[in-house]
């Protein structure tokens, strides 16, 4: 049985995060992916620690980089 998206009754809900919620979400992602706090990751990023690092070689880094718009 094939069901197209047009035929489905799926719904999507969007909720906007306030700055505190976004920072908390970023912190959770950084802790889960890299075992560092969001603040520690941002300090390392600003310090150039990840400038020449391939995110595909460093597990979890791409997840945190993709979450940067939450805080920047």
Assess whether pLDDT exceeds 60 at residue 67: yes
- Mean pLDDT over the full length of the chain: 91
Question: Which pLDDT score is estimated for 10?
Answer: 74
pTM of the entire predicted model: 0.79
Return d(Cα 28, Cα 60) in angstroms, integer: 12
Confidence of residue 22 (pLDDT cuts 50, 70, 90): very high
Rounded CA Rg of the chain: 17
3 state SS of 14: coil
């Amino acid at each position: 049985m094939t069901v197209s998206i047009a035929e489905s009754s799926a719904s999507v809900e969007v909720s906007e995060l306030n700055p505190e919620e976004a920072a908390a979400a970023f912190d959770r992602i950084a802790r889960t992916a890299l075992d560092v706090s969001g603040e520690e990751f941002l300090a390392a990023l600003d310090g150039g620690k990840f400038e020449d690092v391939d995110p595909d070689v460093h597990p979890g880094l791409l997840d945190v980089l993709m979450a940067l718009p939450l805080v920047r």
